[in-house]
Structures are given as structure tokens and as C-alpha cells.
Amino acid sequence: MFKKFFSSMKDKKYLSLLFVAAGAIVFYVFLQRFDDFKKFLDSAFSLISPFIWGAVIAYLLNPIAKFFERTIFGKFKKRRAAHTISVLMTFILAIAAVALLMVAIVPQIASSVMILVGNLEGYFALLQKTLNNFIANIPFLDEEMVNIDKLVGSWEQIFKTVTDWIINNIENIIGVSYKVGSGVFNGAIAVIFSVYVLLDKNDLKRLARRLAAALLPAKPYARFGEIVRKSNSIFLGYIGGTLLDSLIVGVANYLFMLIMGMPYALLITAIVAVTNLIPNFGPFIGAVPSVLILLLIDPWDALWFVVFTVVLQFLDGNVIKPLLFSDSTGLRPVWVLVAIIVGGGVMGIVGMLIGVPLFAIIFYLLNEWLETRLPERGFNLDGHRVDKNGNPIIPIPPQVVTISTSEPTPSATEEIDIPHDTEVSSDTQDAPPSDEAAPSEASEN
């Protein structure tokens, strides 16, 4: 019995059915234990996350280290020593920049937040008074129709709502505090790991090249280096352009608020610059809390800020970004939207930031595969069938012609479908049968 069963397994039909059944069973078990599988992935990711972030830090700092190694230490004969000194200088510069940011900007932002929270009750009362005066100047509205106090609520009610929310979510707040503490520890590990990654960069590149040569077939390996260089160019170009664009937008926003004398310029500029890192939707996400803060203080400042944000984003989208990116990603707007949504759903804020370059790399690899696969199947890059010379093959529909019979009756005709490569002349249609042609020629002679 078992011998007959295993002999039938040699048939590809039964083997395919066996694989389909096994796959269905595995998928069913996966759905049943999805929560356990997700917990396993979360614990595994939390374990290796410091090393992932360390690799990311090393990747972002690598261009600076290469710049130091090629320019400042380009004439050093001991290249290993030049590489080590360049890496150390890069990390010293990065740590100094972060320390300067923490000392110069973070205290001012924290002070602005404390002042804003302390004056929030007065700002709220001023907003209520401004809205009541605005409604009082409208003839067809009265306080009974639109009651601002009932619509917005009192400060005591809002304060009580916020306090109750904090009490009800105290465990989540403690959990967030714990995650912040563990994040600081993991960040220190990531920085240390990134130093070792940059120091051993050449050895790691050699290992990756050897693995690719051992695992990939000859034809894909021949293009492996080109694909890696192109992917690196897309990623670094996008990240560098995004950081520079956020810096330009932040500086412009800060100068505008200083010129107009608006309060909390540094705090609002930090919100605008950070959210501007998110493609397309980031500026609008950052504008919402910024406008709400200004609205509590002076509605006219909020209005001017909205006008300036619209103008700045128009210039950013039509002038600044085209100069910085030069369409480096090659993605259409619809795919940018998909990349942001999918990246944000899978990896949160980080996914929204890196989703666009990842999708750009995926589309680049897909186009590379299509450019190779379509000619092999006899199609051009537009998906049309072509001949061996690359000329498009246009299908010609069959022709319908009418051929008369030998009877003189004009109504006795029949329609015949003739392929496009068959030629029918008018002389052959009217020619008499061959057995009558000889007597007629003899009579004429």
C-alpha cells in the first residue's frame, strides 16, 4: 500500500497537490497562531533593533567618513590608519552637532512648552472672548443660537478631562517612560555598534561580495554591483535631499515668525521642520498644532501663518524639491501615497520616512527585471509584440472578397474568407474555364 502511494508521488500532478495541501495547512496554523507569531517577531525585533539602528547610523555617516578619507587624508600612505582617523573624526563631529543641538535648541523649546502650558488658561479665555465678540458683530446670530461656552467648554472642564485621561492611562504612561529609558540604552549600543561597522566597512563589503558570488547565478551576479550602487544612490539622494529641504523650510519659517513678531517661533519651527520630513502630508500635519497654538494667542497670527505655510509649500513643491531631488525616486504621486501609507502601517513614523526610497528601489528592480524579461518573450518595453529586428508586429484582420461563379446569373455569388497573404486578381475572377480556352484561341487564329 505504502509502496503504491510513494510510487504515485513521482507524478508531478500528485506532488503539486501535496505541496498545495501542505501550504494550506501551514497558512491555517499561521492564522490560528498569528498573535503568538507577532509576539515572537516583536521580541526578536526588540533584541536586534540596536544592531539595526547601528547599521543605519553607520550608513548615514559613511559619506562624511569617505569625504574625510578622500580629501583630508587622501595623501596618507597608510590607508588603514587614514580610514580609522576619518571614522573617529566623523563620530566626534556628529556627537558635537547633537550636543550643540541639545544645549542650544532643546532648552529653549522646553522653556516655550512650559510657558505655553502655564499661560494656557489665559489663552483659552482670550480665545473665548474673541469668538464671542466676533459672533456679537454678526447681525443674524445671537448668543442663544451659538453659545461659545457650551460649544468649546470651560477651562475647568477641559482640565478635568485631561486629568482624568492621565489617571486612566497612568500604566501606559509608565510603559512609555520605560520604553524611553530602554531606548536610551539601546541607542548607546547602536552608536557603539555603528563605530565598529564603519571601522570594518571594507571587510564587510568583501564578505557581502563573496556571499553574492557564491549564492547568485552568473547572470544576476554580473549586475549585482550596479543594482547595489543604484539603490545606494536612490536612498542617499532621497535622505540627503529630504534633510536639506526640511532645514530650508525650517529656517524660512523661523525667519518669517521672527519678522512678524509671532510667539513660540522656535517651538513651532521645530514642529514644522520635523513633520516636513514626511512626504506630501508632513507639512499639513505640522501646521495643525502650530495653528492651534497661534489661535489661542492671536487669531490674526494664525491666519497669517496659514497663508505663509500655503505659499511656502507651493514654492517647496515646485521650486526647492525639484532642484534638490531632480526626480531621483522616479515614483508617481500615487505610489508615493501608497509608500507612505504602507510604510507607516508597518513601521510607524520610520516607515513613513523611508517608505518612499524603499518603494523607489523596488520599482527600480522591477523595471530591471522587465527590461530583461520582455525582450526574451518577444515584446518591447511597452508590452507590444515585435519581430526579430525589433519592429512591432501589427495583426492584420482577414479580408472578405466576393468571387463570381461561372453561371451568368449575377445573384449566384458566394463570399469566401481569404487570409491576408492570399492575392486574388480581377483577371482570374472573370477568366473562363481552362477546357474552353483552347477552342476559342484556335477559332481566332
- What average pLDDT does this structure show over 8-31? 71
> Is residue 347 domain-shared with residue 391, that is, in the same domain?
yes
User: Domain containing 237: what range?
Assistant: 217-328
Q: What is the pTM of this model?
A: 0.63
In the structure, what pLDDT confidence band is assigned to residue 431 with cuts at 50, 70 and 90? very low
pLDDT(357) > 80? yes
When pLDDT is cut at 50, 70 and 90, the band that residue 413 belongs to is very low
Residue 264's nearest CA partner among 295, 306, 234, 235 is 295
Task: Tell me which of 157-161, 187-191, 282-286 is least confident.
Answer: 157-161
pLDDT at 212 over 90: no
Q: What is the mean pLDDT of residues 317-333?
A: 70
Q: What is the pLDDT of residues 381-402, one digit of tens each?
A: 777 777 777 677 766 555 555 5
Question: Are residues 323 and 354 part of one domain?
Answer: no
Q: For residue 389, is it within any domain?
A: yes
Which pLDDT score is estimated for 137? 67
Confidence tier at 150 by pLDDT (50, 70, 90): low
Specify which residues 379 forms β-bridges with.
385
Are residue 299 and residue 353 in the same domain, yes or no?
Answer: no
Specify the higher pLDDT residue, 14 or 267: 267
> Is 421 part of any domain?
yes
In this structure, what C-alpha cell is assigned to residue 280?
506630501
Lowest mean pLDDT among 42-46, 98-102, 347-351: 347-351
Domain shared by 321 and 371, yes or no: no
What confidence category does residue 157 fall into, taking pLDDT thresholds of 50, 70 and 90? low
Most confident of 99-103, 389-393, 427-431: 99-103
Pick from 328, 351, 370: which residue ends a domain? 328
Average pLDDT, the chain: 75
Distances, alpha carbon 353 to alpha carbons 163, 330, 345, in Å: 33, 17, 12
Residues 387 and 354 in one domain: yes
Per-residue pLDDT tens over the stretch 270-313: 888 888 888 777 888 888 888 888 877 788 888 999 999 999 88
Together in a domain, 323 and 224: yes
Domain-terminating residue out of 328, 344, 364: 328
Q: What pLDDT does residue 38 have?
A: 75
Instruction: Count the domains in the chain.
Output: 3
Does residue 442 lie in a domain region?
no
pLDDT of residue 421: 47
C-alpha cell belonging to residue 205: 563589503
pLDDT of 434 strictly over 70: no
64 domain-assigned: no
The Cα 331–Cα 110 span in angstroms is 39
Residue 385 phi/psi, 5-degree rounding, is -70, 140
CA 185 to each of CA 88, 152, 188, 389: distance values in angstroms, whole numbers, following the listed order = 21, 43, 5, 63
As given in the structure block, the three cell numbers for residue 347 are 513601521
Q: What gap in Å lies between CA 263 and CA 113, rounded to an integer?
A: 12
Residue 12 falls within a domain, yes or no?
no
- Within a domain: residue 279? yes
Residue 420 burial (C-beta neighbours within 10 Å; 0-12, 13-18, 19+): exposed
The answer on 354 and 304 residing in a single domain is no
Nearest 5°: the CA angle 286, 292, 295 is 135
Residue 200 covered by a domain? no
Max mean pLDDT range (10-24, 66-80, 316-330, 431-445) = 66-80
C-alpha count within 13 angstroms, C-beta hemisphere, residue 64: 15
What 3-state DSSP class applies to 413? strand
More confident residue, 102 or 428: 102
Residue 141 has pLDDT above 70, yes or no: no
**At which of 168, 192, 207 does a domain end?**
168
Among 372, 374, 335, 371, smallest CA distance to 356 is for 335
- Is residue 360 domain-shared with residue 416, that is, in the same domain? yes
CA 285 to chain centre: 17
